[in-house]
Structure 1
């Protein structure tokens, strides 16, 4: 039986709960707009949780002449590091030089540009490397003698989305995961949308402006709104594999390949190595994207070309794939398609902004520019603000972003361990990396590990599950094990069913996240 809710009136309806939609909702709410965001699945359920887990300038984009994109991404890199020092951490990369591929002079020139296209305050400059003498060379095959080292940053991509949505919510936005936009039309310069939740509840929204941040579904939403698209999208699948750890240090690697592509090998979740990505044309349903056997073999083969420790498909403990909805710029191969974004506005029926393309690193700037474009179609009370604000949990040294919070984040981890000495060290480190200063909210009232409740999987206690349900919209074991944490890597068989059952029992006790008071 269909349930009907009252009409919600807002300034901005954002359709799409990936990184771009969440970032736009956050920026808009902080500028004083009333915002409703809906997402057909969980937050970050698709492309935004299937990245290479990096905040980076895109070193390889230099070969395609995308200096503007690389400069923009490099500037954003340190802005984001300061805003979320718990989620984003510095990471050094080793780039071995392989005979027959890009020569040393070309790599050196590329890294020189990479060092100087934007100001650096947190990350060191690149340097030449003798792999025979450096610790990172020990994991590599004997023929690799020289290379380079440069710096970027690692990120928990899915949590970055959730924290943007949480910040938007705390600034008054209504966040509606698992809620599909089932109908949409404009009249009298207002958008009228019907949103249907999983339980059948239907909400009507009247919005002054519509934001299409649906990624791979951007053209579908425009068709639903009866708006002719001015752009085409090119769907490119990127896949990753996770294997038991191939090296002991905390640096990462960037490997060249004969086909011109590059592949990352990153330290991942203490005991694993993350390897990716691929670039494969995709024309099927974006909700049903998986890694292929050929992609798995491809990534294993590149790994085996560089690492002493050999791997095969049987060594893969986890894999994931996502669709990059890229702007179709006519490039001949998928790897060369631009990763930049474009914002298109349309005011014929009612104010509409559509997002095409983009990448995790530039999401904040995209959101800022989106609000500036929206300000050209309707009144926006506030000015740009997100470059000088922390994300939830990032206020390690106070409300303002600070270099020291990045450079000395380990000091914060030690403070948490001293404040909660009963918490196992590995769990304390995970909590501080995942929740930052919000760890105090998670651990409120706890005096011992027993106060966190029963462990339903290794390292996952009832107290954390309850926090994720009440604060971060978690509704299933997958939400918890693979997006808000990566504890699925260590979870034993049967843990998913056990967690799902626990969550279903407690759903009736979990309050629905409410919004502020700026909605009609």
Structure 2
């Protein structure tokens, strides 16, 4: 997969998608599988903004029960199922423990059991869509206080604890790589994609939109990308891009943004994720008393999220502050007094934005919404050739893309081009039996790599693992790990540059390999990464400090 800037300029596309987060990636993927000529442009790297700043969960929709949105529950559970089918290598089922509290109606055992039974009913039949038994999603059960404390003794600090119910959710090892897998599959089917390409204007003739003007962020070159239909899927940046056009509006314009912060800490609990009620309010008709904080075992760490802080700054400058970290640690320690998390337990912290549509934005209440918007501006604003797609959740991005591309093919008079994305695996997801596939590859490469490393490669690259290992075998040292405490091989750096459009060290360290998302990998590792990349890209030695500064900035949290 290469940055085909010349192809972007010289091709007349059916559609150009603005934004390479999960929504834009799914749009390009769906359109390409239907046979459309597709361009995808992203101003930064693919999937590193809002799409990366999450708990990496593919939610089954149980959160919508509190708003009695049963259709949203079913939709989310269905889309979670599809991910198990099309990207089996990239996900795992994680059991959450949801505590029950004696003397509380909504937090009690009876209320939670009733809610879980209703949820089970709303998810009925979905597991039949998953052929691989290992990928089917279990339903949980209710445990007594004694059973819960045998599993997670830490929970004894919760006042009034009288049991817990398990809920199995689907968790991604690396959400950035899942987004990238959609982009790569789109490219396999003929799409032209490029990161670091910013849209600076629209090409407009009267009320007809016929493309976008772009700037290559790496070279500074400006050029047109012509298409019959433009689809704006730029997430939080969507309204700002639409302002380049007079009269382009969403049905509900965002009234503001909220910043959600996640922490990656020392591992608190190895086997179970914990869903614990905080003192923060949440909107809903039926609630358990507060917004939940999730503590998820992830890659030898705990991934903890999320906060809810109104954000009014520059959308390109969303950063974690030291106060964010201190306040969140205080909340966590108040919920579980025995956990004793300190600031030096935090290996990494990241933040992202989600749009708000509430007229009254409250600092103490979670007001995020699972509602998304697909707007045909020809019908709404008399701007032909323009569609806006504002997503809300990673889980439902595929469904949103299907709705939007249905509109696109109708406008192109190609209604016979049907969506295939719910059942056709991603390019790296062509694995029928995941457990058997892993065992087979561990045996095949047992004289070459440790079993744990092969497992890591399968989780990262899926059915492309053979190509990755063959690529690494061609160069001395590429089969060696970059560090003793990481599974990432030296050759994965070169693969990211030559096969996956990585342009900076930041791209490699965070989005492609995840080296940096569980903590700073160390100066020696960064030097190795730079050495490999500079050998391929021809970087001069003096560029080292520039590249390292971009990586180091991720770990520099702003002062209050």
TM-score by shorter chain over 0.5: yes
By how many angstroms is 1:226 displaced?
Answer: 2.5
SS in 2 for 1:162: helix
Match of 1:148 among 138, 159, 165: 165
The aligned counterpart of 1:111 is 116
Deviation (angstroms), 1:93 = 0.7
> How far is 1:103 from its partner?
2.8
The answer to whether structure 1 residue 388 and structure 2 residue 393 are counterparts is no
Aligned length: 495
Report the alpha carbon displacement of residue 482 of structure 1 after superposing the two structures with TM: 1.5
Q: Who is 1:341 aligned against?
A: 372
In structure 2, distance between residues paired with 1:220 and 1:445: 42
Q: Structure 1 residues 66 and 485 mapped into 2: Cα distance closer, same or farther (>3 Å)? A: farther
Question: For residues 228 and 328 of structure 1, what CA distance do their matches in structure 2 show?
Answer: 21
| 8 Å Cα contact 2:355/2:368 also seen in 1 | no
The answer to whether the 8 A contact 1:236-1:326 is kept is yes
1:430 aligns with 2:461: no
Separation (CA, whole Å) in 2 of partners of 1:6 and 1:206: 8
The 3 A distance-change label for structure 1 pair 184 and 425 is same
User: What is the SS of the residue equivalent to 1:505?
Assistant: helix
Quick one: which of 66, 86, 89 aligns to 2:92? 89
Tell me how far apart the structure 1 counterparts of residues 394 and 80 of structure 2 sit (CA, whole Å).
10
SS state at 2:263 partner: strand
Deviates more, 1:166-175 or 1:339-348: 339-348
Is structure 2 residue 15 aligned with structure 1 residue 12?
yes
* 1:226 is aligned to 2:246: yes
**Alignment partner, residue 513 of structure 1:** none
The answer to whether the 8 A contact 1:265-1:273 is kept is: yes
- Of residues 488-497 and 190-199 in structure 1, the stretch that sits farther from structure 2 once superposed is 488-497
Give distance in 1, aligned partners of 2:277 and 2:312. 27
Question: Displacement of 1:98 after TM fit?
Answer: 3.7
Deviates more, 1:54-63 or 1:39-48: 54-63
Give the match's secondary structure for 1:266: strand
Structure 1 pair 496/286, CA: closer, same or farther in 2 (3 Å)? farther
Deviation of 1:141 (Å): 2.8
Deviates more, 1:258-267 or 1:380-389: 380-389
**CA apart distance, 1:130:** 2.2
Which of 114, 133, 137 is matched with 2:147 structurally?
133
Moved more, 460-469 or 94-103: 94-103
TM-score by length of 2: 0.83
CA drift of 1:106 comes to 2.5
- Runs in 1 of length 4+ with deviation above 4 angstroms? 3-6, 326-334, 445-451, 453-458
| 2:433 counterpart of 1:415 | no
RMSD: 2.5
In the aligned structure 1, how far is the partner of 2:11 from the partner of 2:246? 22
Give the structure 1 partner of residue 511 of structure 2. Answer: 483
| Distance in 1 between residues matched to 2:491 and 2:361, nearest whole Å | 50
Other structure's SS at 2:369 match: coil
* Residue 236 of structure 1 pairs with residue 266 of structure 2: no
Q: Is residue 195 from structure 1 mapped to residue 209 from structure 2 by the alignment? A: no
Q: Contact between 2:391 and 2:400, CA under 8 Å: does it hold in 1?
A: no
Which of 471, 477, 496 is the aligned partner of 2:499? Answer: 471
User: Which among 74, 77, 82 is matched to residue 79 of structure 1?
Assistant: 82
Tell whether the 8 Å contact from 1:90 to 1:152 is kept in structure 2 after alignment: yes
Q: Distance in 2 between matches of 1:440 and 1:244?
A: 33
Which structure 2 residues correspond to residues 31-110 of structure 1 after superposition, within 5 A? 31-99=34-102, 102-110=107-115
Structure 2 SS opposite 1:291: coil
Which residue number corresponds to residue 406 of structure 2?
A: 372
Give the alignment of 1:18-37 within 5 angstroms.
18-37=21-40
Q: Note the C-alpha offset of 1:6.
A: 4.4
Structure 1 190/228 Cα, relative in aligned 2: closer, same or farther at 3 Å?
Answer: closer
Mapped partners of 1:309, 1:338: distance in 2: 31
316-325 vs 480-489, which moves further: 480-489
- Find out whether 1:286 has 2:319 as its counterpart: no
Q: CA deviation at 1:127?
A: 1.2
Please tell me whether the aligned partners of residues 216 and 324 of structure 1 are also in contact (alpha carbons under 8 angstroms).
yes
1:246 aligns with 2:268: yes
How far residue 277 of structure 1 moved from its aligned partner, in angstroms, is 0.7
1:220, CA displacement in angstroms? 0.9
